[in-house]
Structure 1
């Protein structure tokens, strides 16, 4: 099994922050190693949390710089995109003051202009954090067809001169060539098993080793103007901990969220047709986050922006996959007018006999 690791470096990037961080590790400082991404970062299909790629990369820091002390921050949530990542970056990652951050959303985001913009918002938010973390971008891949959002995300990597590594150009070619049987590294052509996580980590640590050995006089790059309209950098998440909507028939979820991946909490639930929540928000972008259930039937709702029922967006809580419930984030206003808007979530089906409730988890807003 011979991966061409050099091909895995999709963007060398500016190494100023990375080299500064490694010098601090060399000096024996205490440093925080953070990961923000989807289910692969969370460790899905690894047989133990310590066998996922993120923890293996964390162990590289420990082994490479034994004189330093490291803390591990895993902010991976399965089935989520960079759009949600931007809204939760502060609470789930930056509040822990990371010194190194891997961002991993290239198989969760679609390869569209929309996700190029949300990804840029996330990168800008993390890069500008007061702790000045060194940032590396990781592009995972679908092993059955090579699909991911790397074309869009790679534009952001180059624009911000960030080191980036790709499984599409390192592990995937070996799968296509038959030198790595895909079932040896993944059960579902997406989530790596233990062996797959080990390979993903090896692509990342190869790049980190190369950075460690590099002789460079890179200076801190000038922070560039946005590549996109950049409407998502300042995303705000409204849930029952920080907002009280106008409420008819919904019950507040008061369960305590124990950890980052315990994500179906802090919202509102109802199952009776006609129940509604109305939010008054500021911004030009609005998205509604709700739970789609494998338990069926579940209620269906409409999201109505500024009382415009003709253009209401359907929110169907029935989920036709079998891997588990889905935390779904649906945009209901994209590049709208900046200002004050209302968004009403109203159940159009449901009654007390239904086995599942409609759970509104949050409303996410932002503006240019």
Structure 2
């Protein structure tokens, strides 16, 4: 009988240990800050291979931060506004990176379906307002590049600089942190694109990021994840 009691005691001890471990894991998940990256195809690719979100996942403590990509190819700022509730707010994030603007400028070419500057800023401000109303923190990101040649010589550099300046102004106006990706890219290109290539240094096609470009985005964003 004593052996049976010992066996049952050990069995129950193992059960309670398992329960304690499970509760601990759930508690850690709840304590982990939820960070959402909200954007277009660059962010959509960020969760694949050496994408910038995957690189960030390797750089942060997974017990402290849960990183989630919410990017859809072709999206502009108003697309983000339309899906904000479902893809971001319903997930109750602690922190949201807004990284949008490339398509708003790029799509002015050809089909001319881009976003006028004033509308870009209005929708961007509306995103900020709705995210903050839910108690989430926001980091604003400037759009990166459409072409990697010397600054001022790519077709839409003037527009990109204008839209990036608008994001900087929104960050200052709302007292929000600014992740100045465009400046980081311009500085990198100035130092490393010695042959004045239009692609291949940080991008595969003048817009979408190669491994080096993804690393630069990850390195620039990392200090804001805290």
Q: Report the TM-score when normalising by structure 2.
A: 0.68
Gapped runs of 5+ residues in structure 2? 1-29, 106-115, 149-153
The 2-side partners of 1:105 and 1:136 are apart by 12
1:81 deviates by 1.1
**Which aligned pairs between 1:297-312 and structure 2 lie closer than 5 A?**
none
Structure 1 residues 223-302: aligned runs within 5 Å: none
Comparing both structures, which one devotes a greater share of its residues to helix? 2
Q: 1:70 to 1:187 in 2, by over 3 A?
A: same
Compute the displacement of 1:60 (Å): 3.2
| Alignment root-mean-square deviation, CA | 2.5
Is structure 2 residue 153 aligned with structure 1 residue 139? no
Is 1:197 matched up with 2:200? no
Q: Is 1:75–1:92's contact at 8 Å kept on the other side of the alignment?
A: yes
Please list the CA deviations of residues 330-355 of structure 1 after superposition, one character each: whole Å capped at 9, or x if unmatched: xxxxxxxxxxxxxxxxxxxxxxxxxx
Deviating more after overlay: 115-124 vs 177-186: 177-186
Where structure 1 has 5 or more consecutive residues not aligned to the other structure, the ranges are: 1-27, 213-368
Higher strand share: 1
Q: In 1, Cα distance between the equivalents of 2:191 and 2:58? A: 31
Aligned equivalents of 2:172 and 2:103: distance in 1?
20
Structure 1 residue 77, shift from structure 2 partner: 0.6
Deviation at 1:178, TM superposition (A): 4.1
Q: 1:152 & 1:69 partners in 2: Cα distance?
A: 32
How has the CA–CA distance of structure 1 residues 71 and 177 changed in structure 2, closer, same or farther, with 3 Å as cutoff?
closer
How many residue pairs were aligned? 174
Deviation of 1:120 (Å): 0.7
If the length of structure 1 is used for normalisation, what is the TM-score?
A: 0.43
Work out the CA distance in 2 between the residues paired with 1:208 and 1:154.
16
Judge conservation of contact 1:137–1:165 (CA < 8 Å) in 2: yes
Q: 1:204 to 1:175 in 2, by over 3 A?
A: same
C-alpha contact 2:131 2:137 (8 A) present in aligned 1: no
Question: Which residue is 1:107 aligned to?
Answer: 102
